[in-house]
Every structure is written in C-alpha cells, then in structure tokens.
Chains A and B, each alone.
Chain A
Amino acid sequence: MTRRRREYLTAYLYLAPGLALTAVFVYWPLVASTTLSFYDWNLVSPTWSAVGWQNYRELVGNRAFWLALVNTGKAAVAFTVLTVVVPLLLAVAVLRVSDRWRDIYRVLLFSPTVISMAIACAVWLWMFHPLYGVINSLLRLVGIHGPAWLSSGDWAIWAIIIVTVWKTFGFNFVLYVAGLLAIPAEMYEAARVDGASERQLFRHITIPLLAPTTLFVLLTTFILSPQNLFVPTQILTQGGPNEASNNLGYLVYQLGFEYFRVGYASAAATLIFLLFLGLTALQFYFAESRIHYGR
C-alpha cells in the first residue's frame, strides 16, 4: 500500500466510530423524518395518508411559521452581539485582572450556565413578573413603566432572548478563555518589547490567533439558536401570546407534540435543517478562507 493510501485508510479508521454512530442516531432519524413529512400521521393511528407536498405548502401559508422565522432571526442577531462579541471582550478583560479576582469573576460569569435551563426559567418567571418582579421594579426606579413581559405581544420574545443570553453566555465565555490561554505569552512580550500598544496587541495578535475559536463560537451560536430558545419558550410563554414569541425551535415541538401532527412537524424540521445548512455553509466558506490556522 502506498503511503498516501495508508493515510486515507487511517483517517477513515479514526472517523469510523463517529460516522457510524452519527449515521444511526442522527441521520437515519433525519431521513425517516423527511420521509414522514410527506404523510399525515401521528405515529400511532392505524390510519395514515400520503399527502405529497401538502405539509410544506401548509407550513409556508402558516402565520406561525413566518412569525417563528422572524423571531429566530431577531434572536440570532441578539445572540451574535451579546453572546459572541461580549464574552470575547469580557474574557480578555478577565484575564488581565489579578489572580484572585479573576477566579471570582470567572465563577460569577459562568454560574448561570451551571443551572439547568428549566430551573433558570422558573426563577426568571419570578423576575419578569409585571407587578413586583425585579426587572419592572428596577425600571420603575428610573421612571419607566415596564411591560407585562410574558403576556405582551411585543416583548415576549425579548424576555425569552434575555433568558437565553443569560444562560448561554457562559459557554462561549469559557471557550474564549481557553482560546486566549492558548496564545503563547512570548508573542505578547516580544511585541511589547517592540513598542506595541495594548490596542495594537489586541488587533494584531489576539484577534487573528483567536480567529478559529471566534469562528467556532459564531457558527455554533448561530446553529444552536433554535435549540437554545426552546426550553425558555416552552416554560415561559408556550409560543404566545397568540404566537408572538413562537420560534423555529419551538414550532417543531408545537406541531409534533402539541398537535401530534408528526408529518407536519417533520416538514418544518426538514425546512429548518436545510435553511441552517445553507446559511452555515455560506458563513463557513466565507470566513474559513480568511483565517490563518497554525498548520
């Protein structure tokens, strides 16, 4: 066997367990679900019918779908700013601080992530209470009459976004810290000896060397936004009022588990998958070409 062929074979050996398990536990369900999307069935009835593209057509005509799409878009933008950019800046700031305080900050910033989302939502439910919750009480101090967060068509989705940001912030924060720590200290020292300012260090060393992590954080935050929105939506608003806070992550659940229309839910899931696949691939190829990896 040639060296090259041996490299190919070895690579596939490393990939084999991952590929096999993923095929069984992720892709087979996806294929089965897509097949199901052409039927009208709830997995249980003795009767079902093939409906062709009907589920897809109905989805596109469904007001809840478009609201969900817009809301997920709003969330994606909010997440990009608040859970991609801000944790980066905070990670840099925290690492500048002296040891003892650094530990404290890191635990504080990460602590929301440690709680289960369900418990976090229960607590935020209390905080969002329009009459005596912390948030509206604070707003009242500065003279603003806070909305009924969870019952208001305009604000419900933002309540969900706030909780999700609070909860997922820590994940990216930890990853940035790890990425920053991997940058060798000598690079900074050498540049400082050459007379570079802190700003220049940040722009010319930190940002480029952190780029692979940043790309990862950006893309995974985007990809996982529907999933992260799901539990808060389920616990706080169930997509209401009147679908105002519905989002792509919750929509699939609603169609499949509240209405038991598994075929219809599968159509939504397939659409969401394809949408995210396309958008992510675009972002990836665009950004990947601009990153300089170590190898």
Chain B
Amino acid sequence: MVSPMLWMFSTALKPPGEIFAGTFRLWPEHPTAQNFVVAMTQVPMLRLFWNSLLVALVVTLAQAFTSALAAYACAIFRFPGRSLCFGFFVATMMVPFQVTMIPNYLLIARLDMLNTYAGLIVPQVVTGYGVFMLRQTFKNLPGSLVEAGILDGATSWQILWRIVVPATRTALAALCVLFFINTWNQYLWPLLVTTDKMMKTLPVGMQEFVSLEGGTNWGPLMAAASMAIVPALIAYVIAQRYVLESFVTAGLKE
C-alpha cells in the first residue's frame, strides 16, 4: 500500500547514478539533499506552493459553500422541480472534463482572465459531487432537528448555519479534505489557464522535470513531489483530528 510512497522518498534522496541501480535499495548508498536543492532552485517552488495553496483553499471553501446551499434546498425544502434540480447537479459529474475544458478556457481567455487566480478558481466553484454528498447527509438528519428550529421561529438561513451544518460537521470536514486534495493535485485546468511561470500551480510546475525528449529528471521530480504532499497530508491530519474530536463529544452528549 505505501511502498510507492517509500520509493518516492527514497528516489528523492538518491544521486543520479543510484536511481536506476539494478538492485533496489530503500536507503541510498550516498543519500543527498541535492535533489531538493535543484527542485527549489530550478522551479520557483515557494511561489508555486503559494499559488496552489491559495487556489485550493478558496476553491474548497467555495465548493463547500455552494454545495451546502444547493444540498440544503434539495434535501430540506419541498418544491416542484426538486428532483430535476438535484439531477441537474448530479449529472454534471457525468460530463467528460474534456468537454468543459475548452469552452471554459475560451470563455476565460475572452474575459482576459488567463494567468489569474480568478481564472483558476471561478469555473470550479460548483461541484455536483459536493451537492450529492451533502444532500444525502442533510436528508439523513433526524427530522426533529430542523422542526425544532422552525418552531423556535428561526429563518431558513439560521437553521442552515446554526443547526444543519454543526450537526453534519463530520461529513463536511471529510468533504472539505477531499475538495482540498483534489484541487491541490489538479493538473489539466491549471495547465490550460496558466502559461506564466509565476502563476502556475505545483503539479504544473513539477512537469518541468519531466521530458520525454531529454529524459525525466527523476531525483528533483520526486523531491518536489515529496514536498508537495505535505500540505495535503496536513489537511487530512487536521480534518481527522477535528472529526475524531467531534465523535468523542457526540458520543458523550445526550
């Protein structure tokens, strides 16, 4: 399960002559930090990190927000066209991304938003995955919760943010982690939108080490990849702690 990751770290620490050694060694004979240095200097690593972080955070929050709103409507309210709207969101997952990629690129280009954060973020703000998942979670809440809120005279907005969201925070946390990691590792859309070196995200920037013509620079590539997984792992660990904590308190309550 984890051996690929071990190989990744192991390669990051090996000098070029050892990477393709006939027999595999987990710990290099002459471990070196050279690859990390190369990765940081040949590619504006910190800037790429920052770009990826900013985009991932904003997209995660935006996706959580829009998904919660839409799921709230589809799960809690009763109105004509409810199933249709829900289907409308879910069906977006079935549209092959190659279909949306080019028209969205043309639109962003037309709006002069290429090589901008807005261009990277805006087309991704809604996700059918999130709407679907939260609708399931909201719908699974005990009916008494929301009814209590209505009896107390709360507005639907208050019910959403004061009752529904806190009650489902485990699911929301899990969803946010997935959104973050997805956006953090995203490649194809940032590739299209950013040609400017300083606006690229981490996955796109790492491609500078890959060359089928001149040979991929495996050492620095794996070093960059090792550095790249850190924020995603942190996001997961934080969410896990948060989720775990919720469980503990939920078990003690009532």
Question: Hey, which bits of chain A sit against chain B, CB under 8 A?
Answer: 7-8, 10-12, 14-15, 17-19, 21-22, 24-30, 32-33, 43, 103, 106-120, 122-124, 126-127, 132, 134, 166, 171, 174-175, 177-179, 181-182, 184-186, 209, 212-213, 215-216, 219-220, 223-224, 226-227, 230-231, 248-249, 252-253, 256-257, 262, 265-266, 269, 272-273, 276-277, 280-281, 284, 293-295
Interface hub of A14, A112, A184 (most chain B Cβ within 10 A): A14
Complex partner residue of A132 from B24, B93, B216, CB under 8 angstroms: B24
Across-interface contacts of B3 in A (CB, < 8 A): 127, 134
Across-interface contacts of B156 in A (CB, < 8 A): 10, 14
Across-interface contacts of A262 in B (CB, < 8 A): 102
Across-interface contacts of B178 in A (CB, < 8 A): 171, 174-175
Task: Tell me the bound Cα distance from A226 to B98 in angstroms.
Answer: 12
Across-interface contacts of B161 in A (CB, < 8 A): none
Structural contact, B96 and A249, CB atoms closer than 8 A: yes
**Sample of 24 A–B contacts (CB below 8 Å):** A8-B80, A11-B82, A18-B66, A18-B89, A25-B100, A27-B92, A33-B103, A103-B240, A111-B5, A112-B2, A115-B5, A115-B229, A116-B206, A127-B4, A166-B1, A174-B177, A178-B173, A213-B137, A219-B132, A220-B132, A224-B129, A269-B95, A294-B139, A294-B141
Across-interface contacts of B125 in A (CB, < 8 A): 21
Complex partner residue of B174 from A15, A178, A281, CB under 8 angstroms: A178
Question: Hey, which bits of chain B sit against chain A, CB under 8 A?
Answer: 1-5, 7-8, 22-24, 66-67, 69-70, 72-80, 82, 85, 87-100, 102-104, 107, 122-126, 128-129, 131-133, 136-137, 139-143, 146, 156, 168, 170-171, 173-174, 177-178, 181, 184-185, 187, 203, 206-207, 216, 218, 221-222, 225, 228-229, 232-233, 236-237, 240, 243-244, 246-247, 250-251, 254
Structural contact, A175 and B174, CB atoms closer than 8 A: yes
Across-interface contacts of B99 in A (CB, < 8 A): 29-30, 33, 252, 266, 269, 273
Majority DSSP secondary structure for residues of B touching A: helix
Structural contact, B4 and A281, CB atoms closer than 8 A: no
| Nearest CB in chain A: distance from B221 CB, A | 7
Across-interface contacts of A8 in B (CB, < 8 A): 77, 79-80
| A30-B100 CB under 8 A given contacts A19-B88, A178-B170 | yes
| A273-B243 CB under 8 A given contacts A14-B72, A212-B140, A294-B141 | no
| Nearest CB in chain A: distance from B143 CB, A | 5
Task: Tell me the bound Cα distance from A106 to B143 in angstroms.
Answer: 32
Structural contact, B174 and A22, CB atoms closer than 8 A: no
Complex partner residue of B87 from A216, A220, A281, CB under 8 angstroms: A281
Across-interface contacts of A25 in B (CB, < 8 A): 100, 104, 122-124, 126
Structural contact, A11 and B132, CB atoms closer than 8 A: no
Structural contact, A226 and B96, CB atoms closer than 8 A: yes
Across-interface contacts of B97 in A (CB, < 8 A): 227, 230
Task: Tell me the bound Cα distance from A256 to B98 in angstroms.
Answer: 8
Structural contact, A114 and B236, CB atoms closer than 8 A: yes
Structural contact, A19 and B240, CB atoms closer than 8 A: no
| Nearest CB in chain A: distance from B169 CB, A | 10
